[in-house]
Amino acid sequence: MRFNYHICILIGLWINMAQLGGQEEKEKTTALKDLLSRIDLDELMKKDEPPLTFPKTLEEFEYAFNEKGQLRHIKTGEPFVFNYREDLHRWNQKRYEALGEIITQHVYELLEKDCNMTKKILPVDATDDEPKSFIYLSEDALTNQDRLLVLVQGSGVVRAGQWARRLIINEDMNSGSQIPFITHAMKEGYGVMVLNPNENFLEVEKPPAPAPDPTPQASPDGPDEPAEKRERKEEKETKKKRDFYEKYRNPQKERETELIPIRENSSSEEHTVYVWDHFISKSAAKNIFFVAHSYGGLSFVELMIQKEAEVKNRVCAVAMTDSVHNVWHQEAGRSIQEWMQEHCCNWVSSTQPLDSPVETMLSDCPRVSAGTERHELTSWSSFHSIFKFFDDTLLQAQDTDSRSAATVTRRSSNRIKHEEF
């Protein structure tokens, strides 16, 4: 193992120097102590790293999704292997991240080709040269007069159409993506909007730093000492230290980047409010439903805080899955908490059977078990329960509307009879 190999080298150096005497021993001991204080074990692991360049497509990675939506190696049929190179954790992680970016693009393709969804650019008035984000809409997302489903994922690397990248790679497409929610909702007559709350910045490579000024600068400690003599002296004093640790510290340099925020979409909360203002609130749907996972639940509560009257007037029900919102910390008022008690349900990770009530000290919304202890699985585990919750809520709303209409009809009839007399 490379790790043990490098440690053995260090121990060997220590023993050899211990056998030396006099001033040379002290100098080398000092140099080694400096090495040990500076050295990072993670950096040691980078010495023999392969290049940080990876395939750009699933085919080049030699992986594909089978008929069950599972990612498998096209030659061996085996699941994805994270530790592709032993003892090269950073390289393996970079390889995993490169595959994750390909998975993101693959999900986008599925949304467009299989789900027939359309990408809408954000901001809606973006110029050609400014950073942009986007969301996905079904064909009838804005025109469906009956119902609209809005999907909001949690934080992190996941993008539009994903609940958990890890599940897509290690389990299957159904459990990790939003596609089952989209296809089922469409069959049930919903328009669908897929938000993209983590696409907040444009990442660009930093320009190279300017070359240092070659003109010798006078030292404040020795203004009269010639620059060449001073440089030779410094090189002599540091040569042994440099010789000891430089050969063990040879990591590959990663490109330096900077993040340019996307206007009015630089956070999950800001993105959710922006999409509400420009898309959700302008839809024709009488009944709007949300599925909000993890941080998406927090973003929904923030939306309520900023647009309370509008949300109450348009949203029929909200299904949260292991939401991390906190009505106390977010300072959601009593009226919001009372509305959430009536219109929200949070399926949380738990050892209890699916839909079993889960006690909570917060007075925001009912909590029930998602039937799994795994945070990232809560959306998929509660899939059927969520749509039953929506159906039940819709039936209740329809019953209420029917009773209200009947009351109005009776009053109108009575008024007509009264006027006839």
CA–CA distance, 198 with 206 (Å, rounded to integer): 22
What DSSP character marks residue 377?
Answer: G
DSSP 278-345: HTGGGS--SEEEEEEETHHHHHHHHHHHHSHHHHHHHEEEEEEES----TTTTT--HHHHHHHHHHEE
Token pair 């993101």 is at which residue? 104
Per-residue pLDDT of the chain (421 residues; tens, 9 = 90+): 444 555 555 555 555 555 555 556 666 666 666 655 655 555 554 456 788 889 999 999 999 999 999 999 999 999 999 988 877 888 889 999 999 999 999 999 999 999 999 999 999 999 999 999 999 999 999 999 999 999 999 999 999 999 999 999 999 999 999 999 999 999 999 999 999 999 999 988 877 666 556 555 554 554 555 666 566 666 666 665 555 444 444 456 667 789 999 999 999 999 999 999 999 999 999 999 999 999 999 999 999 999 999 999 999 999 999 999 999 899 999 999 999 999 999 999 999 999 999 998 777 899 999 999 999 999 999 999 999 999 999 998 877 666 655 554 454 445 444 444 3
Token pair 């030659």 is at which residue? 75
CA–CA distance, 184 with 179 (Å, rounded to integer): 8
List C-alpha distances in Å: 74 to 64, 102, 176, 300: 6, 16, 21, 41
Half-sphere exposure of residue 403: CA atoms within 13 angstroms, side-chain side: 6
Q: What is the pLDDT of residue 139?
A: 98
The residues with which 149 forms a beta bridge, in sequence order, are: 192, 289
Q: What is the pLDDT of residue 51?
A: 82
Q: What is the pLDDT of residue 416?
A: 44
Q: What is the pLDDT of residue 379?
A: 98
Structure tokens at 316: 């029929």
Q: What is the pLDDT of residue 73?
A: 95
CA–CA distance, 338 with 304 (Å, rounded to integer): 12
Q: What is the pLDDT of residue 28?
A: 60
Catalytic residue among 294, 350, 381, 385: 294
What percent of the chain is helix, strand and coil (3-state, nearest 5)?
A: 45, 15, 40
| H or E element at residue 393 | helix 383-420
**Residues 294, 320 contacting (CB under 8 angstroms):** no
Q: What is the pLDDT of residue 19?
A: 55
CA–CA distance, 159 with 140 (Å, rounded to integer): 22
CA–CA distance, 181 with 293 (Å, rounded to integer): 13
* 356 labelled catalytic: no
List C-alpha distances in Å: 16 to 22, 29, 149, 243: 14, 10, 70, 16
Length of the chain as a residue count? 421
Structure tokens at 355: 């839909």
Q: What is the pLDDT of residue 84?
A: 85
Cis amide leading into 353 (omega within 30): no
Max alpha carbon distance in the chain (Å)? 125
Q: What is the pLDDT of residue 248?
A: 40
The residues with which 202 forms a beta bridge, in sequence order, are: 260
Structure tokens at 209: 């730093």
Residue 101 phi/psi, 5-degree rounding, is -65, -35
Angle between helix axes 334-343 and 295-306 (nearest 10 degrees) is 130
Q: What is the pLDDT of residue 102?
A: 96
Query: Could you tell me the fold of the domain covering 115-202+260-395?
Result: Rossmann fold (3.40.50)
Q: What is the pLDDT of residue 6?
A: 53
